[in-house]
Amino acid sequence: MSNTHFGFQTVDESQKAGRVRGVFDSVASKYDVMNDLMSMGLHRAWKAYAVAVANLREGQSVLDIAGGTGDLARAFAKQVGTRGTVVHTDINEAMLRQGRDRLIDEGTVLPTMICDGEALPFATGSFDLVSVAFGLRNMTRKETALAEMNRVLKPGGRLLVLEFSKVARPLTKAYDWYSFNVLPRIGQFVAGDSQSYRYLAESIRMHPGQAELKTLMKAAGFGHVDVHNLSAGVVALHDGIKC
Ligand SMILES: C[S@@+](CC[C@H](N)C(=O)[O-])C[C@H]1O[C@@H](n2cnc3c(N)ncnc32)[C@H](O)[C@@H]1O
């Protein structure tokens, strides 16, 4: 048995996915409004940046992992058009259901599948682009997940990882104060759950920073990785090419 992190707690690897499921089961119905409140709308700009960097062409195929309520999947679907494919996936049924219902209400019907980013049920070389936004941090075996993402990409395909990262040093104190004092209170007030938002703040601190994640991606088979810092490193977009 080996250990991993669930926020600042050390837990057995076998327990992490269940604990993460508890977080997203709890917040699913308030996820979108909480995202807007917590990030003061910035998550929309971070995602729009990722979509611009993706720069997909009509007819291309995309796998969105940990897709949750579907922000990226919806934007990618517009880029690839009716000749393309975007598969919207997540391990959590409650999150995926919220996303699928929202997309259908907006007139976007995409293949939607429950699947674990660490064991992808797709053939090798299936996709032009794989994306994972704010999801990798929650996975138990990040190296395994990155290797799986690499496997399902076509040669020359790209992985976009949009994730919280290491903020620029002068902002650390203010960012920590906001994360550990304000976020759990907003979570309690809006979603009736402070613990899940404490987990969010803790999991961000435990997640590999910009350089470390780049190293992990290179080890997983991404021959070239570009790193884009957003909002002074609050978030980073890692763009890796399978080559
Ligand atoms: C913070 S949400 C991000 C949702 C969406 N991508 C977005 O940016 O708004 C994180 C998502 O990761 C999913 N997740 C956690 N572990 C996962 C895994 N092993 N495989 C796939 N998805 C996972 C959760 O269920 C949750 O929906």
* Distance from Cα 113 to the centre of ligand 1, integer Å: 13
Instruction: Write the pLDDT tens digit of every residue in 101-144.
Output: 999 999 999 999 999 999 999 999 999 999 999 999 999 999 99
Q: Would you state the pLDDT for residue 56?
A: 98
CA dist 148 and 28 (Å) reads 26
CA 35–ligand 1 middle distance (angstroms): 13
* pTM score, whole prediction: 0.98
User: DSSP letters of 171-184?
Assistant: GHHHHHHIIIIIHH
pLDDT for position 209: 98
Kindly give the parts of the chain with pLDDT less than 50: none
Strands 235-242 and 112-114 turn out to be unpaired
Q: 80 alpha carbon to ligand 1 midpoint, in Å?
A: 22
pLDDT at 1: 67
User: Quick one: pLDDT at residue 30?
Assistant: 95
pLDDT score recorded for residue 124: 98
**Lining residues, ligand 1, CB within 6 Å:** 20, 24, 65-69, 71, 90-92, 95, 116-118, 133-135, 138-139
What's the gap in Å between 135 CA and the centre of ligand 1?
Answer: 4
Six token digits for residue 239: 């763009």
pLDDT in tens, 65-83: 999 999 999 999 999 999 9
> What is the per-residue pLDDT for 121?
98
Q: 3-state secondary structure string, 22-87?
A: HHHHHHHHHHHHHHHHHHCCHHHHHHHHHHHHHCCCCCCEEEEECCCCCHHHHHHHHHHCCCCEEE
Residue minimizing CA distance to atom 8 of ligand 1? 133
